[in-house]
Every structure is written in structure tokens, then in C-alpha cells.
Chain A
Amino acid sequence: MVRPPRQSVGAIGWLRAHLFSSWFNTILTGIAVWIIIETIPGIITWAFVDSVWGDASPDTCKAAEGACWAFIYEKYRFILFGVYPWEEHDRPLIAMIIFLALVLTSCFRRAWGRPLIAGWVVGLAAVAILMWGGIFGLTYVDQSQWGGLPLTLFLATFGIAGAFPIAILLALGRRSEMPAIKALCIGYIELIRGVPLISILFMASVMFPLFLPQGLTIDKLLRAQVGIILFSAAYLAEVIRGGLQAIPKGQYEAADALGLTYWQSMRKIILPQALRITIPPMVNTFIGGFKDTSLVVIIGLFDLLMTTRVAFQDIEWRPFFVEGYVFCALIYFCFCFFMSKYSQWLERDLTRGHSH
């Protein structure tokens, strides 16, 4: 006997197909619904219903059942900008907006070209003037007073930008036919990839001063930046090496047949292709690097995570660490989630460009 067709369209059809297709599936749905009922209403009540918003005292918060967003209201400027002079906060804000605008523009492949490079040069100069000051009537702010989100963004961006040229040289060196250079590059990459970032940062903060000649000192922030660059270079080099390996041998041979020198063939033929196919994994490396900048907390720099922690060291706001961490996590999440979605979009975009 042929059964009548099951209702397979509409809301009921969707529910049947996705939630109740078998007895096992129905049990799974039951468990999932139970988890949602147990967690979501509680979180919503905590975050929105019973919470304290806007300008309120810690005592009001302690009386309330839910989240104390008043803590964020009170401290967000400190969390975002650290100990940067309070009345000058619009300067790092504008600098950050310029910086993010540059990064965002660079996300579109159509914008890639000489004007963008010029834009970066001008933009970075403006950012530097805004952050340091000292000219155009802006008061001088030492970089030991920088902190919060701008510091995190700078450490991450310059970490990858500084690592990039080193990584290309390392990747080329690792594939080189010259044994001494190859050995040096392999040694460097494997050594750095075998140890945790913390040990590199420790080295930067404790050992760099010993390496330098007497009388020459480098600022702590710069030392950390150098450590991050040296660390990212090793990881980025492996990503680029993957790209180089993916270029068909014919491309190398064609470049040789044209009589190009090694550097000409690399610059004009091999590297543009290799870098293009490694953009998505490079964005992933960048996400990792962005999250890893939070480790500078351990050598005492005031990045976003550190300013958040300091914000609730304030004795009367101490109970509200969850709100602080949630706020900080949201900022990190927004940046990383955007980057990972961008990398997925770019991957689709690049393969589409490749296919015709």
C-alpha cells in the first residue's frame, strides 16, 4: 500500500525534516530545547530585564539582580583608551577611526593600488600626529600612556605588517637551493613555532635590554612589538610557503625561459600568484595574531584586556567582573568575527575570479 505523501513543504514540513525526522532526532531536539530553556531566558533576564543601565552607583547595582551595565557606562572611556590623558580622548578616537577606515578600505580588492598606498602613508602620519602630538598645538603624550583598544589595534596591525616582508624572505629562503640559507630559515621558523609566544615576549622584555649596547634602551611597547613581529613572521612564512608550493612548476619554468632573473621572476610572476591564493589563510593568521596581542598583559602593557581588568580593580566596582569581561569579549568578538567572515567572502570572491 502506498502511503499518502508526507507534508513536505511549509513550516510543518521544515520542522519535520529538520527537527523530527526520526525518533533519535526527536530526542536530540528535546535535549536542545531543554538546553535553550535552561540558559537563554536566564541570560536575557540577567542582561536586559533585571540589569542596571546608564549612570548609576555601585550600590544600585548591588541591589539589582541582573547585570550592572552602569559599570561599563562609568568605565568605558578608561577601558577603550587606558591612561591616555582624559581630556584628550578625542585624539585616539579620531586616530582609531582614521585607522579603521584605512583597514576597511583595504578590504576591497578594487581599492588595491597606488592611491591606497598613498592613503596609508598620509593616514598613518595623521594617526601618529594625533597619538603623539607635540606639534600643531597638540600636547605631547608619551607612548607609555597609550592603552586600550588603539594599542591592541596597533600591536596587531604593525605586528602583521612588519612580519610580512620578513615572512616573504623566510618563505623564499626555505625553498631556496642554497643549503646554508635554507638551513638558517628552517631553523628560525621551527624554533619560533616550537615555543609559546609568552617566552618570546619574556625574551623581549627581559633579554632585549641585555642584547643592546650600554646606554641604548628601547621602549617596552616597541620591544613587545618587535617580539610580536618576530613571532608572526615565522607563522606567516609557513602560510606563504604553502602558496609558493601551490604554484605549478610551469610558471617557474616559463619565467626562466623568459630570461628573468630570480628576483624578477619572484616579484613579477611567482609572488603575486602565491600571495593571492594565501590571502584567506593569511587573514586567519591575522585573527590569531589579533587575539594573541592580549598576551602583552603578562609583561604589563595596557592593552584592551589589561584596561578592562584594571577597571574592576576599583574596589566598589570589583563584583562586576563578568560585565567587564563580557564587554571586552564583545569587542574582540566583533573584530575577529568580521575578519573571519571577510576571509570566507574573499575566498569565494577569489575562486570566482579564478574560474573564468
Chain B
Amino acid sequence: MSSYTGDPGDVKPSRPAFWNDPVIRGIFWQIVVVGGVVLLAAFLVSNTLSNLARQNIASGFGFFDAESGFAIGEAIVPFAPTDTYLRALIVGLLNTIKVAVIGVFFATIIGTIVGVMRLSHNWLIAKIASIYVEVLRNIPLLLQLFFWYSLIVSTLPRAKDALGPFLGFHLSNRGLNVPVPDDWAYLGPLVGILLATVVTWVLLKRSKRIHDATGETKPVMWPSIGIFVMFIFLGWAATGFPTSIDTPALQGFSFQGGVDVSSEFLALWLGLTLYTAAFIAEIVRSGILAVNKGQWEAAGALGLRRGQILRFIALPQAMRVIIPPMTSQYLNLTKNSSLAVAIGYPDIVSVAGTTINQTGQAIEGIAVIMAVYLTLSLSISLFMNWYNKRIALVER
């Protein structure tokens, strides 16, 4: 200490010994870690190969083209036991996507309603909403799925004494049978809906342009409702007012006609939706609370109505808080749909599981499952990130 004279020239920036040089140490540790991982992987792969060889299991995806030989209860594309494993896996994938899309849609709606209910000034409504959230959030999803499934299968009547028909709907322990319009009869109204969507979209763009340019707000909701009603009616009229509907009817022990929603799908959909909605409710609540009270007051002072404040001031700001956690809830719902295997809904995990049992191709089967979920997760987060970026706050 005493030898230090205070002259900076005295202190040379000493070069550290080469084993203390951060760059060299960094390279050293990276080589050690990567080397360790590679060695571990090599060890596992060699074990696996020797185990597979001993059990006479051929690796590779050759089994994709083999005949599957099992039946699948519900399939969006036609499927028969004579079809290949590849087709079976595609059917499973489509079933996963089906329940995920429908689940996300309803979970968002229910979750938003419950989240807003928790913020209600009405004490009873707020309490009911918080009981819903606390109960559903703190019970394992798998237990809820088992519960709904048992409830549907053992408390609903048999198909012979199905509940209903209510507007042509029949509810039994086989599931829900829904009437659908005949194949081509309703083409007209469908074209009407399509045209109305395009016109409404143009109208929205126009009113936004006018709003940006002049600050004047054009009414949008009522005109677009009018457009939809008019176009659907015109389409219906153009095809000669068809009224035929394919109504499910009891034949023997099951229903024929209409669309058949299985009890497995109902239970899975109900469980996933109600469970995820509890989490979404909390996200919506915190998002709305995150909007500063001063924003409401300022907008009110400018003379905006409550609906306008919600639409133009509060929601756009709340959305920025809501979107990122909402993305992970959508991802969770999609991943949780894999619990379908426990109640016998033929999703990708269930089909791949059957495939593994029949062919012994465990590695390939699990690789398929993982690849499917990684792709789905990646697509959802890419889309939500794109949407998030679009609505993000642009700062200087």
C-alpha cells in the first residue's frame, strides 16, 4: 500500500496470467460444458442403440406407411382401421387442433366476462366471480376432466331417453347431437355472410381513416349489423328460402344425422375451457386495473361517454398488459389438451400412445408428439407476438 505514489503511470494494467484471462476462461468452460453434453448424449445414444438392437426394434419412420388396424372414435377426415399410421396421427393432430381452437375461443369469452365480473361494483357478482376463480384454479385440471367425464357418462340418460330435443339438440351420455343445415341448401346465406364481412371491413377502414383525418367518429356497429342482416336475407332469398335441416334422429341405439359431439370431446372442452377461463379472468382483471384511474377521469373530463372511454382509452392500454400472459394461457390450454388421453378423446398423444403400444416405436412416437407441440407452441407465440407488436406502445 505504501509503495503507491499516486502517479497513475506507476500502475501498469497488468496482464492477468493466461488461466485468469476472462476470454480464455470463457472458451475453456464452454468447451468443458459442450463436451460434457456431447459425451452424455453419445453415452445415451449408444445405450439406446444397443438396447434397440437387443430388442429387435428397427428405428426410423418406416411404420408410418403400415396399416394401423385400430379404429378412431372421432375423426374430421374419414378414417378406417385399414388406413396407415401416418393418417391416424394426422387425425389425432386435427383433433388436438379442433379442441384447442374451440377451447381458446370459449375460454377467452368466459374468462373476460368473469374478469370483468370480479371488478363489478356489485358485491354479489364480484363474490360469485372470485369463488369461481379460486375454486377452479386450485383443483388439478385432470381431476376436473375426470369429474366432468364421469358426470356426463353416468348421470346423463342413455341415447334412447336423451334430453331434448331443444331446438333439435339432443343431450345424452353419448354426447351432444346437433342439427346442421343441409349440405348445399344454405350456400346463399353463407355467401351473404362472406360479402357482409368484406363490406363491414371496408366500412371500418373508412371510418378509421375519417377518424384519423378529422377526428369525427362515424357510427359502425349499427350499420354493420344492418349490413349483415340484409346480406344474409338476400342470400337466403336468392336460393329460394330453403328450410331443410339435417336433424339428428334416434335409430337403434344411436343418433343418425346432424353433427355428433362425443361425450369425450364435451368433457375435455368443458374442463379445459372452465379451467383456463379462471386464469384468463385474473389476467383480464389485472389488465383493466393496470389502466391508470386518471386516464378514465381525463377521458371523462373531455366529455367521452363510458363506452367510448372503454373502447378508445382503457381497452387499448389494457390489451398491452393482457396480451403476453394471455399468450401463455393459450399455450397452456393447447398443451393441457394432451390430458385427453386420460378420458379417451383421440388427440395426438392418445393416437401416438396407441401407435407406440402397437409398434414399439417409442422414440419415434414421442418425437412425433414433441414435434407437434413444439410446432403448435411456436405458431401460437409467433402469431401472438406479431399481434402484440402491432398494438405495442410506440415511444420515441
Q: Which residues of A contact B (CB under 8 A)?
A: 18-19, 21, 25, 28-29, 32-33, 35-36, 177-181, 184, 191, 193-199, 202-203, 206-207, 209-214, 287, 291-292, 294-295, 297-298, 305, 309, 319, 321-322, 325, 328-329, 332-333, 336-337, 340
Bound form: Cα–Cα A344–B41 in Å:
42
Cα A28 to Cα B339 in complex, Å, equals 36
User: Which residues does chain A contribute within 8 Å of B50, judged by CB atoms?
Assistant: 214
Inter-chain contact B369/A211, CB cutoff 8 Å = no
Contact assessment for B122 and A294 in the assembled complex, using a CB-CB cutoff below 8 Å: no
Say yes or no: A309-B146 contact (C-beta < 8 A), given A19-B124, A292-B140.
yes
Interface class of chain B by DSSP? helix
Task: State whether B140 touches A32 (Cβ < 8 A).
Answer: no
Q: Given A210-B52, A212-B47, A291-B141, does the pair A199, B378 have CB atoms closer than 8 Å?
A: no
**Are the C-beta atoms of B120 and A294 separated by less than 8 Å?**
no
Contact B378 A194 (CB under 8 A): yes
Q: How far is the CB of B141 from chain A (nearest CB, A)?
A: 7
Known: A35-B128, A298-B142, A333-B135. 12 other contacts (CB 8 A): A19-B122, A178-B29, A180-B33, A191-B370, A195-B377, A196-B349, A210-B48, A210-B362, A211-B48, A214-B51, A294-B142, A340-B137
1/0 contact trace for B42-61 toward A, CB 8 Å?
00100110111010000000
Contact, CB under 8 Å: B366 / A33? no
Interface residues of B in 123-159 (CB under 8 A from A): 123-125, 128, 134-135, 137-143, 146-147, 150-151, 154
**Does any Cβ of A come within 8 Å of B227's Cβ?**
no
Q: In the complex the two chains form, is B366's CB within 8 Å of A207's CB?
A: yes
Cα(A18)–Cα(B122), bound, Å? 5
In the complex, chain A residues whose CB is within 8 Å of the CB of B140: 291-292, 294, 305, 332
A195 and B335 within 8 A (CB): yes
Q: Which of B29, B139, B147, B377 contacts A181 (CB 8 A)?
A: B29
Most central of B140, B141, B339 by chain A CB within 10 Å = B140
Q: CA of A29 to CA of B127 in the docked complex: distance in angstroms? A: 11
- CA A196 – CA B369 in complex, angstroms? 9
Most chain A CB inside 10 Å of its own CB: which residue of B52, B137, B138, B335:
B138
CA of A287 to CA of B282, assembled, Å: 16
A18-B123 in contact given A196-B373, A325-B143 (Cβ < 8 Å):
yes
User: A19 to chain B: which residues have CB within 8 Å?
Assistant: 122-124
Q: A196-B338, A211-B47 in contact; A329/B143 too (CB < 8 A)?
A: yes
Binding site for A on B (CB under 8 A): 26, 29-30, 33-34, 37, 44, 47-48, 50-52, 54, 120-125, 128, 134-135, 137-143, 146-147, 150-151, 154, 335-336, 338-339, 341-342, 349, 353, 356, 362-363, 366, 369-370, 373-374, 377-378
Complex Cα gap A211–B54 (Å): 13
Residues of chain B lying within 8 A (CB to CB) of residue A35: 128
- Which residue of B124, B139, B353 is within 8 Å of A202 (Cβ)? B353
User: When the two chains form their complex, are residues B353 and A213 in contact, meaning their CB atoms are under 8 A apart?
Assistant: no
Q: How far is the CA of A25 from the CA of B123 in the complex (A)?
A: 10
Which of B33, B125, B370 is within 8 Å of A28, CB to CB? Answer: B125
- B363-A213 in contact (CB<8A): no
Contact (A33, B373) CB under 8 Å given A211-B47, A305-B140, A328-B143:
no
For the complex of A and B, the 5 pairs showing the least CB-CB separation, nearest first, are A336-B138, A18-B123, A32-B124, A196-B335, A196-B338
CA distance A304 to B305 in the complex (A): 53
Residues of B close to A29: CB separation below 8 A: 122, 124-125
Q: Contact: A199 with B146, CB < 8 Å?
A: no
- Determine the distance from Cα of A298 to Cα of B353 in the docked complex, in whole angstroms: 11
| Given contacts A325-B147, A333-B139, A214 and B30 within 8 Å (CB-CB) | no
Residue of A nearest to B338 (CB): A196
Other-chain residue from B30, B44, B134, B373 in contact with A195 (beta carbon distance below 8 A): B373
* Cβ of B374 to closest chain A Cβ, rounded Å: 4
- Find the residue from A179, A194, A199, A209 having the highest chain B CB count within 10 A: A199
Q: Closest approach, in angstroms, between the C-beta of A188 and any C-beta of chain B?
A: 10
- Indicate if the CB atoms of A322 and B26 lie closer than 8 Å: no
Closest Cβ of chain B to A195, distance in Å, is 5
